[in-house]
A and B are shown apart, each in its own frame.
Chain A
Amino acid sequence: MALKIVKGSIDRMFDKNLQDLVRGIRNHKEDEAKYISTCIDEIKQELKQDNIAVKANAVCKLTYLQMLGYDVSWAAFNIVEVMSSSKFTYKRIGYLAASQCFHESTDVIMLTTNQIRKDLSSPNQYDTGVALTGLSCFVTPDLARDLANDIMTLMSHTKPYIRKKAVLIMYKVFLKYPESLRPAFPRLKEKLEDPDPGVQSAAVNVICELARRNPKNYLSLAPLFFKLMTSSTNNWVLIKIIKLFGALTPLEPRLGKKLIEPLTNLIHSTSAMSLLYECVNTVYIDVNTPPLPSLSLSLCLYLSLPPQLCVQKLRILIEDSDQNLKYLGLLAMSKILKTHPKSVQSHKDLILQCLDDKDESIRLRALDLLYGMVSKKNLMEIVKKLMLHVDKAEGTTYRDELLTKIIDICSQSNYQYITNFEWYISILVELTRLEGTRHGHLIASQMLDVAIRVKAIRGFAVAQMATLLDNAHLLTGNMQRMGICEVLYAAAWICGEFSEHLENPMQTLEAMLRPKVATLPGHIQAVYVQNAAKLFATVLKSQEGNTDSTAAQETSQLMIDRLPLFVQSANLEVQERASCILQLVKYIQKLQQKDVEVAEEVSALFAGELNPVAPKAQKKVPVPEGLDLDSWINEPPSESESEDEQPKAIFAKEEPKHSRPRREEVDEKELAKRREARKQEQANNPFYIKASPSSQKVYQEAPGVEHIPVVQIDLSVPLKVPGLPMSDQYVKLEEERRQKERAEKKKKEKKKRKEKRSGRGKKHDSGPESEEDITPAHQVDIVTEEMPENALPSDDDDKDPNDPHKALDIDLDKPLADSEKLPVRSHRAAEAPKSPTEDGDATSQEPKKKSSKEKREKKKDKDRDRKKSSKHKKKKQKKEKEEKEKKKKKKHHHHHHHSDGGGEEAVQNGTVEEEEPLPVSVFFCFLPLTKVYDIQGNLQDGSQVVVSVIFENKCDSFLKSMEFNVLDSLNSKLQRPEGSGPHDGLTVPFQLPPGVSNEARFVFTVQSIIMPQKLKGTLTFIVKNEDSSTHEKLDFKLHFTCTSYLITTPCYSDAFAKLLESGDLKCSSVRLEGVNMPFHHLLARICFHHHFSVVERIDSCASMYSRSIQGHHVCLLVKTVSIDAKCDEPTLLGNVLDEIKQTFSQC
């Protein structure tokens, strides 16, 4: 062993530490990966050693490597080992590594629960701190549930350093375990007034974070925050509070009025720019929200600033040379815009100017603002400016952003601001000239949407699209432009669907059947083929009217010539459509040769109009009554059959990239079969122009289109598509049109005025034209999207069900219910539903071997009783103190014989019981009912005590309608539901079959806790046998000892010393007579029975501490024969000491 240690320390001298590792990496720039992999091998060796220092060093290096992007999850267990070291140095390394590497799916996290709990309760505050910090990074729902109560206790720690960390981490706990919010909230609220500014700031931070998502639940805190705002000097806290008020004022208008004064004071007194900004921001924005117009007015009056001037002020910020202020000014402006669009709109010049800023962040902000500023009047102008920027813009990201913004601006609220759709179409067409944009599909969908929904524009759109198709080579020539070729999808569809508007359908048809089309992506080709067929129908129709039938036949021939290219396509969709249409055209040609008129019938194929359907329509279709979509129509195939899932897998793999489904992968065999069949068919077909053997070969080798020779046109200059009207022309035209309209209107008005000359002589100034004056150029009929007839309107569509904050939308003002407690690692929670062998002591029904004589006697006793009680239901009450003692023995007994519990020990949540004494007070037994109860102070409320009672049915009958009632005293009252009288009993919310136990909790309000108290009570219930039922009553006494009001609270020696020195505490002492047990047993007993914790122990002298639910400090100095005690409440102290004395007199 000694040798091993020596060897370990020698090894260490040769180990690399973190600094060596960093230096090594820097020296191996060329072969860094190789160097690091040898380092990782070394680390693996180091981790295998027993020496914790070596391990910690290795983990430290791993943390660094993880930061460089290396996966170190394999070392997770070693990290846990280092975390559990007793030395702070190593522990810190371990926790740092854990916070960097652990995430929710790391399985070793489960192993850390106890370690973290131990560290949280460590006497060294920095151990606790390190554990809290680490936990904040990797807390999981399980950890949150198991540790919530421990962390909550830490919120009242004596050290502010721990308090602030505990408060802050609660937010993480709430997110992971929302049930903890209500029980923890009262204490969190309390921390808002913590004497330490750091703790206060943490509490404000957490509550603001919570309130931001669900402000309405936090309105009741407004007065408290108001107080804080006027008293706090911490800018960080003030900013948070002001932000919080920003979220609250829209919900509570009166709040805004109250805020004026303190905010103005702050504006005048603060020197911090950041705070000033937040003040301005809140005053101008959040208070101006719609429910408070009068307030905003008074506020603005108060600050002698009419609403426009609020924006003026922001304008000053925006014009500032400081880019940060400029940015924030724009940000604030965009908030104002939502409520007062008009006042912002007048600053359009400034915003447009910002578009020229060299800073991209500022440009993006400005763009965002422009979105909200457009109106019918200025849309064209703004978009024109933006188009100029598109041309100028460098870097595709910003240009793409511009493009999407242009489209967003134009299409917002159902094209509300577009007066001239011809203009919009030409804008869209101009946008197709953008090089390298990723947003081809966006433009395409806009084209489709406009063409479908604005009927009046179809003719124009079709003409434009035809030109686009004609010049398709310009869009597809460069591979970089592949994104933009998506617009051809739209162009082809529009030209096909609305082909009746085409001037020269034949030309377009030809354009669509060019060989070069085969280089386009498959889904576009498919649309080409299908729409070529539509066009073909239109062309036939026009040609058949003529006397010359050869034209129609030539058209058919063109189709037959060109379609085979598509039949060969690798894309199944294209192939299928092409071969289908090819056969159709061949048939048509046959008919044409026989001089049969076919046009009518061909166009009937494409009759009918396609209507736009709202995107959410499908979701809104209500499920018809009686239809269960989840039930099987036929029995599911048996397991063996489903083995053969090949075809399914093919579909699963398939991911439609574009709106059109693409089926590329089909069984190779199947494909070959089809190919063969087609070849056969082609060979038999006299009209089929057979491919040369070489091209056939190409097809078989490469299903792609790369082999088709294509002339690449590389154009580096922006393209001007010939023949396209520039959108600018439309701007001009539109202006002229509007002027004309205005002139006409004036004329009319003049006429009117002339007619009514005798009327008011005052000249009516027509002024600047208002929104309503602008009439759209076309009679635009924007078709609304279709919705199913009985669709259910629902607004919750956009809410994300996975948002963790949704779970935190909890009413915090409702008083806590009994059931709402944090899971406490205690016997109480664990034992509640347990078998009588554990809690029921000697009353156990199961024959069980008892070790002590005493117990055997008791059992006899009870057995006798039970015989009687089966008839008489006589109560048996025992001296509490005796029972208490026994319970303790029982506990230990249980602990050592886990398996005795008969499978029920699983309920023990795996925690070690000796670690912390439990607040168990008194203990009763009844027959046939066993009732075990436990009084515990409610941590959240100094005047509440929760009594949990375990009822166990020990007879053979069914017990029901149990009612629990206690005779209230002046001091202690049973909390009854609202509306019930002071003497009403509480119904126990369950029934008990024979042999079953269950737990119920009752809340008592206690005013003074300095005296012990006994409450008399009764339990009534109905005993139901097979043939009869009787009503029974059981009397009992609840003993509230002073001890039960104490809560084990850790305390550290320095705080303890301070407390003693403070002089506020009264002194008292007690002698322990005839106690001869080891000193540590004595201490354990005080801890266990009286809820104390040991502060410090020196030989046979120890200081102990506990705290009452109402905040009394109780300090003990325990020696072997006597206890000196101090407490700020002498009566309480006296009683506690009496109780302690009694505990020891019994042993």
Chain B
Amino acid sequence: VQNTVQHVLLQAEDMQQQIIRETFHLVSKRDDNVCNFLEGGSLIGGSDYKLIYRHYATLYFVFCVDSSESELGILDLIQVFVETLDKCFENVCELDLIFHMDKVHYILQEVVMGGMVLETNMNEITTQVDVQNRMEKSEGGLSAAPARAVSAVKNMNLPEIPRNINIGDINIKVPSLSPF
């Protein structure tokens, strides 16, 4: 387990899955009106670590941090991350994240690097992400993916439980999927 902030996607595969399952189990059974902090079990690295999460509709954003981070600061950071996602995906919805996990990672990498907070300024983050996306586009990209993703949305039901706690549904501004 790395220092400070950590996106819950490190470690050996089986261990990693166990952590994610456990974390999801812990977080998902909590009410909305309880606090956003969960003290660390042995799985996430002991007493110095805690889980800090935010809940948006069917989506949980969970950060695992050690005591060098400010709790409320991390809550703010999650908000920044989510708002950035919203900007980069233009009214983000759950399926954006599910189908573009790679892009979510690229955005997250501009916020958190190697387990440490890199940037907290949303404009700076979006600028850098945009420039990199433009570079990708100028190189021809990997494939014409977005069009197909949209068609996929049409014939699909939303999953009851997100596969990964970091994927799911952010319905901050436009929760409805009806336009598709």
Measured CB to CB, the closest approach of chain B to A369, in angstroms, equals: 13
Which stretch in B6-14, B82-90, B170-178 binds the other chain?
A: B6-14
Say whether, besides A57-B142, A328-B71, A172 and B9 are in contact (CB < 8 Å). no
Say whether, besides A92-B132, A361-B38, A69 and B13 are in contact (CB < 8 Å). yes
Which stretch in A202-210, A251-259, A441-449, A829-837 binds the other chain?
A: A202-210
Say whether, besides A64-B101, A358-B31, A89 and B136 are in contact (CB < 8 Å). yes
A326 CB contacts on chain B under 8 angstroms: 35
CB contacts under 8 Å to B, within A123-142, are: 126, 129, 132-133, 135-137, 139
Measured CB to CB, the closest approach of chain B to A8, in angstroms, equals: 14
Instruction: Check B45 for interface membership: any CB of A closer than 8 A.
Output: no
Instruction: Check A278 for interface membership: any CB of B closer than 8 A.
Output: yes
A330 — nearest CB in chain B belongs to which residue?
B35
CB contacts under 8 Å to A, within B92-149, are: 98-102, 105-106, 109, 113-121, 124, 128, 131-132, 135-136, 139-143, 145, 148-149
CB contacts under 8 Å to B, within A207-266, are: 208-209, 212, 234-236, 239, 243
A18 — nearest CB in chain B belongs to which residue?
B102
Give the contacting residue for A274; candidates B70, B101, B102, B152; CB below 8 A.
B70
Contact check, A96 vs B102: say whether CB atoms are below 8 A apart.
Answer: yes
A93 CB contacts on chain B under 8 angstroms: 102, 142
Number of residues of chain A lying within 8 A (CB) of chain B: 77
A235 CB contacts on chain B under 8 angstroms: 73
A359 CB contacts on chain B under 8 angstroms: 30-31, 34-35
CB contacts under 8 Å to B, within A75-128, are: 87-90, 92-93, 96, 99-100, 103, 126
Contact check, A20 vs B148: say whether CB atoms are below 8 A apart.
Answer: yes
CB contacts under 8 Å to B, within A148-168, are: 161, 164-165, 168
Say whether, besides A172-B114, A327-B35, A69 and B16 are in contact (CB < 8 Å). yes
Contact check, B142 vs A53: say whether CB atoms are below 8 A apart.
Answer: yes
User: A160-181 interface mask toward B, CB cutoff 8 Å, 1 = contact, 0 = none?
Assistant: 0100110011011000000000
Give the contacting residue for A57; candidates B35, B135, B143, B163; CB below 8 A.
B143
Which of B16, B113, B116, B120: most chain A Cβ within 10 A? B113
B50 — nearest CB in chain A belongs to which residue?
A361
Contact check, B35 vs A239: say whether CB atoms are below 8 A apart.
Answer: no
B128 — nearest CB in chain A belongs to which residue?
A161
A361 CB contacts on chain B under 8 angstroms: 34-35, 37-39
Say whether, besides A239-B70, A274-B76, A198 and B98 are in contact (CB < 8 Å). no
B115 CB contacts on chain A under 8 angstroms: 136
Contact check, B9 vs A236: say whether CB atoms are below 8 A apart.
Answer: no
In the docked arrangement, what's the CA distance between A67 and B13, Å? 8
In the docked arrangement, what's the CA distance between A273 and B164, Å? 31
B131 CB contacts on chain A under 8 angstroms: 126
Contact check, B36 vs A324: say whether CB atoms are below 8 A apart.
Answer: yes
In the docked arrangement, what's the CA distance between A70 and B16, Å? 10
Say whether, besides A69-B13, A100-B9, A23 and B35 are in contact (CB < 8 Å). no
A327 CB contacts on chain B under 8 angstroms: 35, 37, 71
Contact check, B119 vs A198: say whether CB atoms are below 8 A apart.
Answer: yes
Measured CB to CB, the closest approach of chain B to A1011, in angstroms, equals: 43
In the docked arrangement, what's the CA distance between A206 and B17, Å? 30
A26 CB contacts on chain B under 8 angstroms: 98, 156, 159
In the docked arrangement, what's the CA distance between A570 and B13, Å? 39
Instruction: Check B1 for interface membership: any CB of A closer than 8 A.
Output: no
Contact check, A277 vs B70: say whether CB atoms are below 8 A apart.
Answer: yes
Contact check, A69 vs B102: say whether CB atoms are below 8 A apart.
Answer: no
Contact check, B156 vs A328: say whether CB atoms are below 8 A apart.
Answer: no
Instruction: Check A575 for interface membership: any CB of B closer than 8 A.
Output: no
Say whether, besides A56-B142, A67-B164, A362 and B102 are in contact (CB < 8 Å). no
Instruction: Check A471 for interface membership: any CB of B closer than 8 A.
Output: no
B75 CB contacts on chain A under 8 angstroms: 274, 324
Contact check, B73 vs A136: say whether CB atoms are below 8 A apart.
Answer: no
B72 CB contacts on chain A under 8 angstroms: 273-274, 277, 324, 328
CB contacts under 8 Å to B, within A174-207, are: 197-198, 201-202, 205-206
Contact check, A165 vs B139: say whether CB atoms are below 8 A apart.
Answer: no
Say whether, besides A18-B102, A23-B156, A96-B106, A205 and B142 are in contact (CB < 8 Å). no
A22 CB contacts on chain B under 8 angstroms: 98-99, 101
CB contacts under 8 Å to A, within B6-63, are: 9-14, 16-17, 30-31, 33-39
Contact check, B145 vs A19: say whether CB atoms are below 8 A apart.
Answer: yes
Instruction: Check A68 for interface membership: any CB of B closer than 8 A.
Output: yes
A169 — nearest CB in chain B belongs to which residue?
B114
Give the contacting residue for B145; candidates A18, A89, A136; CB below 8 A.
A18
Contact check, A362 vs B35: say whether CB atoms are below 8 A apart.
Answer: yes
In the docked arrangement, what's the CA distance between A202 and B121, Å? 13
Contact check, A209 vs B4: say whether CB atoms are below 8 A apart.
Answer: yes
A197 CB contacts on chain B under 8 angstroms: 121
B120 — nearest CB in chain A belongs to which residue?
A236
B128 CB contacts on chain A under 8 angstroms: 129, 161
A135 CB contacts on chain B under 8 angstroms: 114
B36 CB contacts on chain A under 8 angstroms: 323-324
In the docked arrangement, what's the CA distance between A133 and B113, Å? 6
Would you list the 8 A-B pairs with minimal beta carbon distance, nearest first?
A136-B114, A274-B72, A323-B35, A359-B34, A69-B17, A327-B35, A239-B70, A23-B152
Known: A53-B142, A64-B102. 20 other contacts (CB 8 A): A18-B101, A23-B152, A26-B159, A57-B142, A87-B139, A89-B135, A132-B113, A133-B113, A135-B114, A197-B121, A198-B118, A198-B124, A209-B3, A243-B70, A274-B73, A274-B76, A278-B70, A360-B34, A361-B37, A361-B38
